[in-house]
Amino acid sequence: MRPEFIEESGKWLRALGSEFGFSHEDLYRIELCFAELVTNVVSYSDPQYAGQPMGLHASLEAKRAVLTLFDPAAPFDPFSVAPPPKVDSIEDFRIGGQGVPLIREFSNAHRYERRDGKNKVELVFELEKPISQPQAAKVIRNVDRRHSAKSFGEEKRAGKDRRALGFLSWSQIFHGIPYSALETLVERLTIQTVADELLLLKPGDENDVVLVVLQGSLKIYLDRPGSGECISIDAGGFVGEMSVIDHQPVSAYVVAEAGTRLLVIDSDTFVNEIMLVPGVSKNLLSAFSERMRSSNKVVIQRMRKELEMEFVQRELQYAKSIQEGLLPKEPLFPQEDRLDCCGRMVTAREVGGDFYDIFFLDSQHVFFVIGDVCGKGLPAALFMVRAMAALRAQTGHDGTPADYAAQLITRLNRQLCSYNDALQFLTAFCGILDLGSSTLYYVNAGHNPPAIASGKGEFSLLSEPVNPFIGMIEGLGYRAGQIEFEPGSVLLLYTDGVTEAENNSGGMLGEDRLLSCLNGVRARRSGMLVETVFSAVHDFAEGAAQSDDITVLAISLKE
Amino acid sequence: MEISVEQSKGNVQRIMLDGRLDVPGTQSVEAKFNAAVAGSSKVVVDLGKVPFIASVGLRLLVAGAQAVSKGGGHMVLVSPDEMTRKILKTTGIDQLVKVYDDLDSALASF
């Protein structure tokens, strides 16, 4: 240690004292405790930490001073050291170890904490005389610490012993145990250095050594090495004691990080000698409870993640019910004696990118649409909501229904192209059914061709004309088609979740199967048709998970 | 940190310390202090002008007392201030080395 360092920091404390008007006794106590603390740190810590900066922090309140000393040396709680024994004559008095009792006596409270790789000792002094400055002051100072070759004659030998004791007394097992009780034991044990990251133990392994971490750290993984959740055993900690005591196989993965130094204690020495050293069993028990607490923490973290998951799940459930609420209510037009319509959407996840809509523009014209946003889940659902809102906002109709349908999709494309940084798009089939003239005007924007049947005729695909999909290419014009739609006719719209439904062998349902199953339906009621399509998909999939949203909308003109 | 030594009556070695017995202070007087106690059988260490003592200072005093005691003699302390007295009590040193309030009672003890 450099004498000038303690001197320098002592001067700083005295300057604080005179600036804030400490009483003589208060200043004496503070300076004494600080000097003892620093002396202690310097004499206990490994010389490798010499020269690293220490930090001193003083925090002053009206009637209280809090002094905090940080040092970067190996973990060491000065308050864990037993006080020197009482002796009867001056000859037996052992020099050294008086510092900590002085700190206990002359500070009002003390606390040790290992934090961010530093030892942190906090000393609290209740001041006998309130300080003169009204507002609290906070001062921080970094001090430099170096060992110097020069030291007190008597201290040299003692210092060496105490460093060796320090090296063990900060470990959990040997916490506070006099070095004399361990000296002969420790001499026989080996120290092992792990050069590269190494898997030391894995579940099921037989283990017969206790490893005390002298430097570096061990990581304990419950699930698999390298997984996110692990318990870290840093310098001073130990592993292996459980399997040594109960002879059960190892229950977790233990990985040593590169450069870790371990004191290896064989099971015989551990059980028959070390555990008999007074104080060791208490240390073991407190280490067990600490470890239990930290594994509880890991479990709690896991539970918290699950709860968060549940929360997200609940949010998605809300989103699902909002999305379902946007769709037209079933049954559709129950009071309408000219139309028989039914729609149904089943999403692959909680929310989806499919949609359909149907409403009267006026007493003679019914507008309908079915759409499919690329992708699935929440992003698709947000775009779907945009598309539906934009379509519902289109009111009034100018020109012929064919023009109107074409303009509608042209405008929708323009609207969705703007503010579309995520480059989403959708396919849609929309149309206007003119109930007066029994004519269907429609626009197909990249969507699956719907199935159509007139009267008692077979279902076929309504394929022409075809237009590009909506939302990515600006300035497109869309062409409408028209077809006679006399009473008894049925239009069945669907999304690709129907025709691209897969079975377990990778086959797809396809348009032909769809048409033949529709043609198998005798009474072409819309509800029956929709039901038929869903059960065809269900039967075809043979239990394979639904991978896409499935939507079907059937519109028929009553005879 | 100053140290001065004088022979009092009855062959008592009186060592007067003047200054702080902190790390640098102790270091600066260590050699002279050890030399002053060496070979003496009656030593009075006067702490009347020591406003501060840390454990390094205590070690100096204890080592001195041990050296005197080994030679069959006695070392006593005199006039510590209130805080220093408390420190001697906390460390148990006041049970092993006699502490007096004034020089006369210290001298009378031999």
Q: What percent of chain A has pLDDT over 70?
A: 89
Q: Residue B38's pLDDT is what?
A: 86
Q: Residue B24's pLDDT is what?
A: 84
Asked whether the beta carbons of residue A95 and residue B54 sit closer than 8 angstroms, the reply is no
Asked whether the beta carbons of residue A29 and residue B62 sit closer than 8 angstroms, the reply is no
Q: Which of residues 33-52 of B touch A (CB under 8 A)?
A: 51-52
Asked whether the beta carbons of residue A152 and residue B56 sit closer than 8 angstroms, the reply is yes
**A207 and A337 share a domain?**
no
Which ipTM did the prediction report?
0.88
Q: Residue A51's pLDDT is what?
A: 61
Domain of residue B29, residue span: 2-108
Taking 70 as the threshold, does the pLDDT of residue A202 lie above it?
A: yes
How do strand B74-78 and strand B99-100 relate by DSSP bridges?
A: parallel
**A293 and A340 share a domain?**
no
Q: Is residue A211 part of a domain?
A: yes
**A356 and A256 share a domain?**
no
Domain stops at, among A251, A281, A300: A300
Q: Is residue A167 part of a domain?
A: no
Domain stops at, among A125, A159, A193: A159
**A454 and A546 share a domain?**
yes
**Any idea what the CATH number is for the domain that residue B16 is in?**
3.30.750.24
Q: Residue A338's pLDDT is what?
A: 92
* Residue B25 C-alpha, separation from nearest chain A C-alpha, in angstroms: 9
**A31 and A60 share a domain?**
yes
**A262 and A372 share a domain?**
no
Cβ of residue B67 closer than 8 Å to a chain A Cβ: no
Give mean pLDDT, residues A105-126. Answer: 87
**A238 and A350 share a domain?**
no
Lowest mean pLDDT among A158-162, A472-476, A553-557: A158-162
Asked whether the beta carbons of residue A35 and residue B23 sit closer than 8 angstroms, the reply is yes
* CB contact set of A228 (below 8 Å; sequence gap of 6+): none
Task: Scan for tokens 């870790």, then name that residue.
Answer: A260
Model pLDDT for residues A332-358, shown as the tens digit of each residue: 998 888 999 999 999 988 888 999 999
- Kindly state the DSSP code that residue A328 receives in the 8-state scheme: P
Residue from the list B27, B66, B70 with its beta carbon closest to the beta carbon of A93 = B66
**A76 and A131 share a domain?**
yes
d(C-alpha A122, C-alpha A30), whole Å:
12
Q: Is residue A184 part of a domain?
A: yes
User: Higher-confidence residue: A397 or A179?
Assistant: A179
A103's tokens? 């700190």
- Ramachandran quadrant class, A426 (left: phi over 0; alpha: psi -120 to 50; beta: rest): beta
Angstrom CA distances, A297 to A203, A233, A235, A293, B99, stand at 21, 15, 20, 6, 55
Q: Is residue A317 part of a domain?
A: no
Q: Are A236 and A171 in contact (CB under 8 A)?
A: yes
Asked whether the beta carbons of residue A96 and residue B59 sit closer than 8 angstroms, the reply is yes
Asked whether the beta carbons of residue B27 and residue A152 sit closer than 8 angstroms, the reply is yes
Q: pLDDT band at residue A136, thresholds of 50, 70 and 90?
A: very low
Taking 50 as the threshold, does the pLDDT of residue A144 lie above it?
A: no
Q: Which stretches in chain B have pLDDT values below 50?
A: none
Q: Residue A52's pLDDT is what?
A: 65
Q: Residue A1's pLDDT is what?
A: 41
d(C-alpha B53, C-alpha B80), whole Å:
10
Taking 90 as the threshold, does the pLDDT of residue A368 lie above it?
A: yes
- Which residues in chain A touch residue B83, judged by CB atoms under 8 angstroms apart? 24-25, 28-29, 32
Helix, strand and coil percent figures for chain A, each rounded to 5: 35, 25, 35
Q: CB count, 10 Å around CB of A365? A: 17
User: Higher-confidence residue: A430 or A171?
Assistant: A430
Q: Residue A133's pLDDT is what?
A: 54
- Which residues in chain A touch residue B86, judged by CB atoms under 8 angstroms apart? 105-106
At position B94, the amino acid (one-letter code) is: D
**A227 and A290 share a domain?**
yes
- Which residues in chain A touch residue B93, judged by CB atoms under 8 angstroms apart? 93
Strand partners, A447: none
Model pLDDT for residues B53-80, shown as the tens digit of each residue: 998 899 999 999 999 998 899 999 999 9
Q: Are A342 and A526 in contact (CB under 8 A)?
A: yes
Residue from the list B24, B54, B93 with its beta carbon closest to the beta carbon of A32 = B54
- Which residues in chain A touch residue B69, judged by CB atoms under 8 angstroms apart? 89-91
Model pLDDT for residues A58-80, shown as the tens digit of each residue: 777 778 888 888 787 888 888 88
Model pLDDT for residues A459-491, shown as the tens digit of each residue: 999 988 889 999 988 888 899 999 999 999 999
**A249 and A369 share a domain?**
no
Helix (H) or strand (E) holding A378: helix A377-393
Residue from B56, B58, B74, B88 to probe the interface with A (highest A Cβ count within 10 Å):
B56
- Kindly state the DSSP code that residue A181 receives in the 8-state scheme: G
Model pLDDT for residues A28-51, shown as the tens digit of each residue: 999 899 888 888 877 776 666 666
* Three-class SS state of A549: coil
Mean pLDDT score across all residues of chain A: 83
Q: Is residue A519 part of a domain?
A: yes
At position A456, the amino acid (one-letter code) is: K
Taking 60 as the threshold, does the pLDDT of residue A192 lie above it?
A: yes
Q: Residue A497's pLDDT is what?
A: 92
Q: Residue A395's pLDDT is what?
A: 62
Q: Residue A156's pLDDT is what?
A: 30
Cβ of residue B71 closer than 8 Å to a chain A Cβ: no
Q: Residue B48's pLDDT is what?
A: 94
> Which stretches within chain B are classed as H helix?
23-37, 55-70, 82-90, 103-108
Model pLDDT for residues A528-547, shown as the tens digit of each residue: 999 999 999 999 998 888 88
**Any idea what the CATH number is for the domain that residue A357 is in?**
3.60.40.10
d(C-alpha A323, C-alpha A328), whole Å:
11
Taking 90 as the threshold, does the pLDDT of residue A94 lie above it?
A: no
* Residue B39 C-alpha, separation from nearest chain A C-alpha, in angstroms: 16
Give mean pLDDT, residues A153-176. Answer: 51
Structurally, chain B folds into a number of domains equal to 1
Q: Residue A396's pLDDT is what?
A: 62
End-to-end CA separation in angstroms for chain A: 105
Q: Which of A139-148, A163-172, A179-188 has the highest mean pLDDT?
A: A179-188
Mean pLDDT score across all residues of chain B: 91
**A147 and A199 share a domain?**
no
**Nearest to A103, CA basis, from A36, A3, A170:** A36
**A414 and A501 share a domain?**
yes
Helix (H) or strand (E) holding A53: strand A53-61
**Any idea what the CATH number is for the domain that residue A16 is in?**
3.30.565.10
- How many helices, marked H, and strands, marked E, lie in chain B? 4, 5
d(C-alpha A91, C-alpha A69), whole Å:
34
Asked whether the beta carbons of residue B63 and residue A25 sit closer than 8 angstroms, the reply is no
Torsion angles phi and psi, residue A414, rounded to 5: -65, -45
Q: Is residue A74 part of a domain?
A: yes
How do strand A550-557 and strand A490-494 relate by DSSP bridges?
A: antiparallel
Structurally, chain A folds into a number of domains equal to 3
Give mean pLDDT, residues A152-166. Answer: 34
Angstrom CA distances, A28 to A14, A25, A100, A120, B19, stand at 9, 5, 16, 22, 14
Q: Residue A145's pLDDT is what?
A: 32
Q: Residue A527's pLDDT is what?
A: 95
* Residue B77 C-alpha, separation from nearest chain A C-alpha, in angstroms: 13
> Residue A368 burial (CB < 10 Å; 0-12/13-18/19+)?
buried
Domain of residue A510, residue span: 327-557
Asked whether the beta carbons of residue A154 and residue B91 sit closer than 8 angstroms, the reply is no
Asked whether the beta carbons of residue B24 and residue A4 sit closer than 8 angstroms, the reply is yes
Residue from the list A86, A88, A102 with its beta carbon closest to the beta carbon of B87 = A102
Residue from B27, B43, B55, B74 to probe the interface with A (highest A Cβ count within 10 Å):
B55
Give mean pLDDT, residues A247-266. Answer: 86
**Nearest to A172, CA basis, from A298, A296, A29, A74:** A74
